[in-house]
Amino acid sequence: MRFVVVTGMSGGGKTTAMKMLEDAGYYCVDNLPISLLTKFVELMVNPTSEITKVALGIDVRAGQDILNATDIFAELKKQGYQYEILFMDAADHVLLKRYKETRRVHPMAPAERVEVGISKEREMLADIYKQADYVIDTTSLLTRELKEELDHIFVQNEGGHKLIVTVLSFGFKNGIPADADLVFDVRFLPNPFYIDELKHQTGNDKPVQDYVMSFEEAGCFLDKLTEMLEFLIPNYIKEGKYRLVLGIGCTGGKHRSVTLANEIYNKLKELDICGVTLQHRDVITGK
């Protein structure tokens, strides 16, 4: 039997993940009291049970009992039970935005500011986070991309990536993305904006792509950046980093940056050393 414990930050996507796992054939139980965890596992692994895939959701709604979860997990492992922990997370500012949009009360701060609840929750879940087999950061993840990652890990059984890289194109004239970890400026390349037939196209259009990549400097930049990422990503993973935003900027964020972001995205997909998503901040219709 495959047994998955789904946990994480409130607003991080746990409920969505549970629904997706249920659609994938998992028997899902959410918000089970921590004190019943051992008994639940014993019932599920009963030889007479026809259930072969289980997803159990636990979170801070269990109150202080959540602090006992790691001890119970350790005891289950000692008894020979196999399980995997999926931790759903997102950046604090995104969690705050999601709470404001839904107007829900944070379970850890019913009478206080949401920021207080998020801080308390991170502290309570710190030990579980360290034990997680998979961490999925939904900060920049589309619903479709989350489904693909869950399918990759829990349906195709190919394992998952603990680090998600978001390749983000942008225009410097609209400001550098606040959440960018690494920023690269591709304004050293000729600008398609000044070519009449390319001006109103973007880096998602082949004529612009062909123009930008026709310059030797573009290919050299792509090769050197790919080589650097091949070095950095395994070391980021080793140090426990689970989210990396790679910003690629040009003047307006529509031509050069979009073209190079697309190329880098494809390179990372080929390397398969991390999860990867693609966003074009200043293009209305991005990939």
Residues 18 and 58 in one domain: yes
**7 and 123 co-located in one domain:** yes
The model's pTM is 0.63
Residue 239 has a pLDDT of 78
Quote the domain boundaries for residue 144.
Answer: 2-154
Together in a domain, 118 and 10: yes
* CA-closest candidate to residue 88, choices 147, 138, 28: 138
Q: How many domains does the chain have?
A: 2
Q: Of the candidates 239, 236, 250, which has an alpha carbon nearest to the alpha carbon of residue 283?
A: 250
Mean of the per-residue pLDDT values of the chain: 88
Residues 6 and 143 in one domain: yes
Do 140 and 168 lie in one domain? The reply is: no
Mean pLDDT of 59-67: 82
- The band of 157, judged by pLDDT with boundaries at 50, 70 and 90, is low
Tell whether 33 and 102 lie within a shared domain: yes
From CA 215, how far away is CA 65, in angstroms rounded? 60
Q: Average pLDDT in the 137-148 region?
A: 84
Q: Quick check: is 159 in a domain?
A: no
Show which of 132, 154, 176 is a domain's final residue.
Answer: 154
Residues 47-71: what's their mean pLDDT?
84
Is there a domain that residue 287 lies in? no
Instruction: Please check whether residues 51 and 141 belong to one and the same domain.
Output: yes
The percent of residues in the chain predicted with pLDDT above 70, rounded, is 96
User: Which of the two residues, 196 and 60, has the higher pLDDT score?
Assistant: 196
Selection from 90-94, 221-225, 276-280 with the highest mean pLDDT: 221-225
Whether 187 has a pLDDT exceeding 80, the answer reads yes
Q: What's residue 200's pLDDT?
A: 94
Alpha-carbon distance 255 to 279, whole Å? 14
Give me the CATH number covering residue 36.
Answer: 3.40.50.300
Listed residues 100, 128, 154: the one ending a domain: 154
Of the candidates 62, 71, 76, the one whose C-alpha atom is nearest the C-alpha of residue 31 is: 62
